[in-house]
Homo-oligomer: A and B are copies of this chain.
């Protein structure tokens, strides 16, 4: 690592190769170099060849920071997810990443760790980086955050839920409808005492919507809503196992359990295997989100398929359209969900 740039001294002397350098060596003006690189069709073949040769010779990489400042377009989109680690978000990020890359955009990813107060700070930081679009998973936002976004005047997509009043655009599914549909499905399969294990409810509209959907379905099924059948658990295999055991012990007549998180459901399933409880003979298990894993366990697990990749892809496509000049109209796309009936229910 030679010649570290350490201050103004090095700026003029050993500074980076600039467009002017390339221009000088190619015998053209800097503007021609700029055009040859960003819109090759706008310069003549002769010029383009000269520029390309010089670019290759010096291994020139244009400075996009300068380009962004000048053009007021950063070509970076920001992403705030509750947890990079969760494979559900990973599937969405992957899809966004693919579409972004195909359109010459870069991704800046930030992790809110499910903390609402951090989201605001992260969005501020991304806006300071002048991202040209933003994807937020959360859809409960502080007032200040909404103001920030309004002032920033960039396209924003919410993906975690279908908010009643989206900030700008939303691509998601209804957590309420999904949980209601699955609970209803269990009821129609004949289960009478259906437990529900929810992920933490604090600062999490998705969790709350799912619980609301569960209760709505019970009412529709004409089943009593027993608060004792509802447990809150942080995500995790052990927590799912633990929740199931507690429900079975406190409510021996429980015949089905709906887990609002896939990992919880799998943890519970393994616990049943360990204890020799037949699934679905002793208790049926249903899950939320179609982890690949659920298709391979023994028994396979009934679940809700949420098209996470579609959410990512369509979000990115909407952003790209806007950046290409589409008129800024509120869009609210419901990607829907699907009940996948398998052996566990």
Contacts and interface: CB of A to CB of B under 8 A. Distances in A.
Nearest to A148: B59
B1 A168 contact: yes
A187 interface: no
Instruction: Choose among A65, A86, A93 the residue with the greatest number of B CB atoms under 10 Å from its CB.
Output: A65
Contacts of A4: 153, 328
A76 interface: yes
A189 B68 CA distance: 60
A273 B298 CA distance: 7
B97 A93 contact: no
Interface in A49-69: 59, 61-66, 68-69
Interface stretch (A106-114, A157-165, A244-252): A106-114
Nearest to A113: B98
B124 A97 contact: no
Contacts of A5: 72, 153
Given A1-B168, A266-B296, 5 more contacts: A65-B69, A76-B129, A85-B90, A238-B296, A270-B298
A206 B11 CA distance: 41
28 contacts: A3-B153, A5-B153, A59-B148, A59-B151, A61-B148, A63-B130, A64-B130, A65-B74, A66-B69, A76-B108, A76-B129, A85-B94, A87-B90, A94-B111, A97-B109, A98-B111, A101-B111, A106-B110, A107-B109, A107-B110, A237-B295, A241-B296, A266-B293, A267-B296, A270-B296, A270-B297, A270-B298, A293-B293
A35 to B, nearest CB: 17
A126 B63 CA distance: 10
Given A1-B168, A90-B87, A153-B2, A64 B298 contact: no
Contacts of A293: 237, 266, 293
Nearest to A93: B84
Nearest to A15: B72
A110 B61 CA distance: 18
A97 B68 contact: no
A153 B64 CA distance: 17
A127 interface: yes
Q: Which 10 A-B pairs have the closest CB atoms?
A: A1-B328, A237-B296, A273-B298, A85-B94, A64-B128, A61-B128, A85-B90, A97-B111, A84-B94, A65-B69
Contact of A110 (B90, B101, B126, B238): B101
B298 A274 contact: yes
Nearest to A3: B153
A233 to B, nearest CB: 15
Contacts of A236: 292
Nearest to A300: B270
A125 interface: yes
A333 interface: no
A109 B111 contact: no
Contacts of A335: none
A130 B84 contact: no
Contacts of A39: none
Interface in A271-317: 273-274, 292-293, 295-298
A90 B168 CA distance: 29
Contacts of A3: 153
Given A4-B328, A168-B1, A129 B85 contact: no
